[in-house]
Chain A
């Protein structure tokens, strides 16, 4: 049973560029959440996707956008990158339909903005 996978594992970009991160949920899961974790901090919720719609959003600017595909995989896009966007980006999946509340996390994508 494949767990949550994310790609790429590492990424280096320069200020002003755009980046797309990808996530495949755990088999059987229908919901994907994205989190940003700065060094030494706890993860912060960016948004959650369910049935291809943004279900909930955290306190992040519009530069952060996402998408969920019919196969439940998801992308996180960040435009006009800032130095402060350097962080570990974590994807988590869960199954809303069953009321399962546990979120299963992927290994993350480490983004460095120069």
Chain B
């Protein structure tokens, strides 16, 4: 079963605009990770945010995390056509057994 609920399921924007994706989860976590997947290939790790962290940046990526709401958001600023991909959030449970639980993903299309 999948813990994460992501929205929107699909997002279409123009190059240069910002894209925001949201993820919610149900149980307590050790950390939350965001991944990108191009055209059904392997997943690329983007950023990890721990359960006690509220915000993290990496280049054009900004991740926020609200423990009380059990939710996280991924913001991609100044999007590029190359950002077109599916984005997944994945949670690692508080027992930290190595099992990542993924959401269903958000498909992002960035039009040039």
> Does chain A bind chain B?
yes
Write the residues of chain A forming the contact surface with B, with a CB cutoff of 8 angstroms: 4, 31, 33, 35, 37, 39-45, 48, 50, 55-56, 58-59, 88, 90, 92, 94, 96, 101-108, 110
Residues of B within 8 A of A31 (CB): 98
State which of A56, A90, A105 has its C-beta within 8 Å of the C-beta of B98. A56
Query: Does B96 count as interface, using CB distance less than 8 angstroms?
Result: yes
Given A41-B104, A42-B2, A42-B103: A48 touches B44 (CB 8 Å cut-off): no
State which of B1, B35, B42, B99 has its C-beta within 8 Å of the C-beta of A107. B42
Query: Does B43 count as interface, using CB distance less than 8 angstroms?
Result: yes
Chain B residues with a Cβ closer than 8 Å to the other chain, count: 27
Are B99 and A43 neighbours in the complex by a CB distance under 8 Å? no
Are B43 and A55 neighbours in the complex by a CB distance under 8 Å? no
Query: Does B100 count as interface, using CB distance less than 8 angstroms?
Result: yes
Are B103 and A101 neighbours in the complex by a CB distance under 8 Å? no
Are B41 and A33 neighbours in the complex by a CB distance under 8 Å? no
- 20 A-B pairs within 8 Å (CB atoms) are namely A33-B100, A41-B2, A41-B105, A42-B2, A42-B104, A43-B88, A44-B102, A55-B97, A56-B99, A58-B99, A94-B98, A101-B30, A102-B33, A103-B33, A103-B98, A105-B35, A105-B42, A105-B43, A108-B40, A110-B40
Scoring B4, B45, B98 by chain A CB atoms within 10 A of each residue's CB, the highest score goes to: B98
Give chain B nearest CB distance to A5 CB in angstroms.
Answer: 10
Residues of A within 8 A of B102 (CB): 35, 42-44
Residues of B within 8 A of A48 (CB): 97-99
Expressed in whole angstroms, the Cα–Cα distance for A33 and B42 within the complex equals 13
Give chain B nearest CB distance to A87 CB in angstroms.
Answer: 10
A-contacting residues, B57-112, CB 8 Å: 88, 90, 92, 96-105
Residues of B within 8 A of A88 (CB): 40
Residues of A within 8 A of B101 (CB): 45
Sample of 15 further A-B pairs with CB below 8 A, known A43-B43, A107-B42: A33-B99, A41-B105, A42-B88, A42-B103, A43-B102, A45-B101, A48-B99, A50-B98, A55-B98, A59-B1, A90-B42, A101-B31, A101-B48, A102-B48, A110-B40
